[in-house]
Amino acid sequence: MVVEEERSSASFLNLFLGSVFLLNAGIFFFQALTKNLYPPLLIPLREAYLIDNTQAGLLVTLVFFGYALARYPSGIIADQIGCTKTILIGSTAMIISFIGVAFSPSYLLLALMTFILGVSSGIYVTAGYTLAVMIGSRKRATTATAAYETFGIFAGILSPVIVTIFVIYLSWQLLFALCGLMLTLVTLLFYRKSSLANRFESKYAVQNINRAEAVKRKPSSLLFKDPLIRRFLIWSILVGGFGALSLTGINSFIPTFLVEERNYSFEVANRMFMIVAVAGLTTKIAIGWLADRFGSKRVMFVNLTLLILFYIFLTLSHEHLHLIIVLALIGAASLNANTLINAYVLIYMPPRYQGSGFGLFSTAYTVIYSLGPFITGLLSGSVGLERAIQLSVSGAVIAAILILAAGYFVTQPQATQAL
């Protein structure tokens, strides 16, 4: 009888752990929307606030910049007060920011609320990822992470459709207000399960106490004193930052480019922009396999080189079919570029440095690439959007050159020679 009750309790617990996972992933969906709603919305925002491409691009930059600044500190906060509390703080801040954006009467207030929206998403995301891994535990950590990230990918795919529907039939302000209200509901449901999430955090901490003690004996502060690791971090931050500087800046203006340079309607341009996200999703596993099979640096270099060509082809293409093909190729290359550098950093870093090293890398390279939309928008005001896209590939060119020069920066540990 006791055994049956224990089995029943375990089954009941697993059911509720599933609900905690889904609610956390639901919050991640809205976190992904904070960055994905802006690119297809730049033209309506320009018209609503009478701004140019530079100011519109700055809004996208502010989201990513705020997100970047909060990523590393959010990990420290989660370590101090727990993932569950950090998730609730970040999600509540996102709710306030979504509603603040919806009711911003001026561009300056909109920019401020957009920046806070980015910060709040950054506060949430590290804790959200960590809780997803805790629920998956070690045996199912990769599966749990992949399932968790799927919610963000769907946010990227659906954003152009959602924006189009609200702009044409309702209003973009209502879209942000509704995001805030829906996130409120998800957050309240997560709060109701917070005691269970806390219990799971405690269980995970007990299971990994020996590992935690080992980490304490090898403090992460030594990361900055190791010349090989320090040089690798500089290299990886520059490769990731400059590469993503191009893709973030250009991708943010693809819907605008299709409307203004290729004379598509707002609705059709946003539908075409979905191709980028879909192509990135469907090729992610294949690109990962190629990196494992042929080496990460080789695949990163080829991927960036092709991406440079695809962006140039975008500015030279005028036929509808050609544009469709180029957008698919851009999606496959651009949405996997960050995955390649992220995985390379995680694999390269010694276990005792993995958390602090990856956290520093994530914050630093995101700060660099957050400037992409602003730079592309600024260039478009001087030389036009088509030429601005061509000039914006310079970041990817620098990143590709740095990969060729990796031998100077990267001294491979014995265990990672194949990378």
- Are residues 141 and 280 both part of a single domain? no
What average pLDDT is seen over the chain? 77
- Are residues 159 and 288 both part of a single domain? no
- Rounded CA-CA distance 110/16 in Å is 39
- Are residues 177 and 267 both part of a single domain? no
- Average confidence (pLDDT) over 190-212: 60
CB-based contact 125:30 (threshold 8 Å): no
Q: Is residue 9 part of a domain?
A: no
- Using DSSP, state whether 164 is helix, strand or coil: helix
- Are residues 200 and 268 both part of a single domain? no
Helices assigned H by DSSP within 53-82: 53-81
Q: How confident is the model at residue 38, as a pLDDT?
A: 85
Percent residues over pLDDT 90 in the chain? 7
- Rounded CA-CA distance 60/199 in Å is 38
pLDDT digits (tens, 9 = 90+) for 218-271: 444 555 666 777 778 888 888 888 988 888 888 888 888 888 888 888 888 888
- Average confidence (pLDDT) over 321-334: 88
Q: How confident is the model at residue 182, as a pLDDT?
A: 92
Q: How confident is the model at residue 391, as a pLDDT?
A: 92
Lowest-confidence pick of 162-166, 222-226, 380-384, 405-409:
222-226
Q: Is residue 314 part of a domain?
A: yes
pLDDT digits (tens, 9 = 90+) for 148-196: 667 777 888 888 888 888 988 888 889 999 999 999 998 998 888 767 6
Structural domain that includes position 278 = 224-419
Please determine, for residue 214, whether its predicted confidence score (pLDDT) is greater than 50: no
Q: How confident is the model at residue 181, as a pLDDT?
A: 92
- Are residues 261 and 125 both part of a single domain? no
Helix (H) / strand (E) containing 172: helix 172-192
- Using DSSP, state whether 137 is helix, strand or coil: coil
Total number of domains constituting the chain = 2
DSSP label at 171? -
- Are residues 292 and 320 both part of a single domain? yes
Lowest-confidence pick of 135-149, 262-276, 359-373:
135-149
Please determine, for residue 4, whether its predicted confidence score (pLDDT) is greater than 80: no
> Domain of 242: which CATH number?
1.20.1250.20
- Average confidence (pLDDT) over 319-329: 90
- Are residues 325 and 374 both part of a single domain? yes
- Rounded CA-CA distance 237/34 in Å is 23
- Rounded CA-CA distance 112/120 in Å is 12
Q: How confident is the model at residue 309, as a pLDDT?
A: 92
- Rounded CA-CA distance 197/22 in Å is 12
* pTM (global) more than 0.95: no
Lowest-confidence pick of 10-14, 92-96, 127-131, 137-141:
10-14
Please determine, for residue 2, whether its predicted confidence score (pLDDT) is greater than 50: no
pLDDT digits (tens, 9 = 90+) for 12-50: 444 444 777 778 888 888 988 888 888 888 888 888 888
Ramachandran assignment for 206, one of left (phi > 0), alpha (psi -120 to 50 degrees), beta (any other) = alpha
- Using DSSP, state whether 170 is helix, strand or coil: coil
Please determine, for residue 142, whether its predicted confidence score (pLDDT) is greater than 80: no
